[in-house]
Amino acid sequence: MGAKRIGRKEVYKGKIFTIVQDEILFDDGSVAQWDLVVHNGASAVVPITENKEVILVKQYRNAKDGYVLEIPAGKLEKGEDPLECAKRELEEEIGFKAGRMTKICSMFTAVGFSDERLHLYMAEQLQVGKQNLDEDEYIEVVTYPITKAVEMIFKGEICDSKTIAGLLAVENLLRYSK
Exposed/middle/buried for residue 10 (C-beta within 10 Å: 0-12, 13-18, 19+): exposed
Decide if 135 is catalytic.
yes
Q: In terms of DSSP bridges, do strands 117-128 and 42-47 run parallel, antiparallel, or are they unpaired?
A: parallel
Closest to 45 (Cα-Cα) out of 37, 54, 53: 54
Rounded to whole angstroms, how far apart are CA atoms 102 and 159? 24
DSSP structural state of residue 77: P
3-class SS at 1? coil
3-class SS at 147? helix
- The single residue of 53, 91, 135, 151 carrying the catalytic annotation is 135
3-class SS at 108? strand
Give me the active site residues, please.
Answer: 135
